Chains A and B, each alone.
Chain A
Amino acid sequence: MNAPQPLHPGVNLDVTDRKSHEKASEVIFGFWIFLMSDLVLFAALFATYAAMSTQGIAQGPTPSEVFDLGSAFIETLLLLLSSFTFGFAILAMKYSTSRLRLLAWLGVTALLGAAFVAFELHDYYVMIVNNDAWPQTSGFLSAYYLLTGTHAVHVSAGILWMIVLAVQVMTLGPNPLVKLRLLRLALFWHMLDIVWVGIFTFVYLFGVAA
């Protein structure tokens, strides 16, 4: 019963909140497994994109004709920065007694995430207006929109989740349930960063370089 709970990957609450930490191991492990399955989904999308972006161009535009590296760079910065601020949110949850600090960092993170999604939608808009690059144009563009779109849907779901948890922090208080949920959302959010780094590299950089 009183044996120290083992540490799990990611931020641990053992030092400041023993009670939450005791319940963490199982749910956090479960969530890592969910992330793994989600990553398999992205892997399938990446593989599809890899095939389609070279062989599925048909009469449509090529990757280097449609991608705007500058915009993708800004999106990268926004998303990485949001992960950074989420880190501060988690530190605030772990070490600070102020609910406000946690909520403030969550708010900043959500705004950065929303800005990322907005930039991405703007990218789509520009591609369609300038190059007539609809998802229906070619296999390459279908794969591109599905890969980046799935990522954008994940980010949007993350923002919605963040709002729900912010409401729970305000109404239920940062109890163990809410804290563990925030830990899991953090893992989710950081995973989306990693996927985005993959997208930036393999879709945008490779696409423009070729």
Chain B
Amino acid sequence: MADRNADLRLENLTKRFGDFVAVDDLSLTVPNGSFFALLGPSGCGKTTTLRMVAGLEDPTDGRVLIGEDDITHLRPYKRPVNTVFQSYALFPHLTIFENVAFGLRRRGVKDYQQKTRDMLELVELGGYGDRKPGQLSGGQQQRVALGRALINEPGVLLLDEPLGALDLKLRRQMQIELKRIQTEIEVTFVHVTHDQEEAMTMADTIAVMNNGVIEQMGAPADLYENPVTTFVANFLGQSNLVRADVIDTAGGDVVVDCHGQKLRLAASRSHAAGRSAWLGVRPEKVFVAASEAEDHTGVNVLTGGRVTDVSFVGVSTQYLVATPWGQELMVFEQNTGRRPAFRNGDEVDLMWAPEHTFLLDADQDAHAGLMTPEDIE
């Protein structure tokens, strides 16, 4: 059996269904004991990737390794990997106790009874052993599914949209719970989700997937603050993207011309290859100021804006500001009460720090990764 305390490695993993490439030459390493999230919209190949690790799908090409052990073509029941299935897949004819004990009993573990009771305690279902899955609430079923997988002490625990069937409040609660359990038992979690907030709250590392490839991988804050593609910029949170031309790359900074206004950013935050680029900034990083009202040294400024929409959301106010070239940019402002809110039609300037600016390749679709109405459940 493979070493349970080793990294999970995917090497050039590819899966084709007929002409459709679900996963395209994907390589990544999940360090042992980490909480890893595969994030992407539906159909991006994240579930297929997970199923290949679980052994439920046979890769067209490439390898799956745990440590040095190649498990690419091992049958599912021979892998040191367990899965928390989407909608749980609990056995309806067995009790909660029997569900959780299932894996241990198949492997002939002698003291399965004690271990099962301990696991039911860990997932806070101590008194529920005799019930059937149908008698439990969604959140409880979720914990049974988790316990049923974890009791086998897998080298890697795979979670396929485990919280997707829960309502928002319960989902937040289970996110914290999952993170607590993961920290407690130090098992590698590979979590597949389309919910960017879920991925960011729980994971140490996120891999953003789109069209079968990884767009960007890193710590949640790095991905959010410094996205390298328009897809990541839009899928993870929201972004303002405006056309800009690179005019100077001398020194540590990149200077761009954005519709006649000069803006700058650190070279490490520029991911544009050519001269033409998308300049990006997150809405909450932008300050609105009355036209020509403030000092502009050391900040990026776009002048000549006009407020076209104001929505008050309690903790913040969200503005839409039209630029002189007719594009609408988003600004989220904390309601600190420092000054009265702007109103529709007010002439404003937009300001943000160069270290909150990022530059993306102009060849990319500025709308990639934007939520369409179908994506919102």
> Do A and B form a real pair?
no
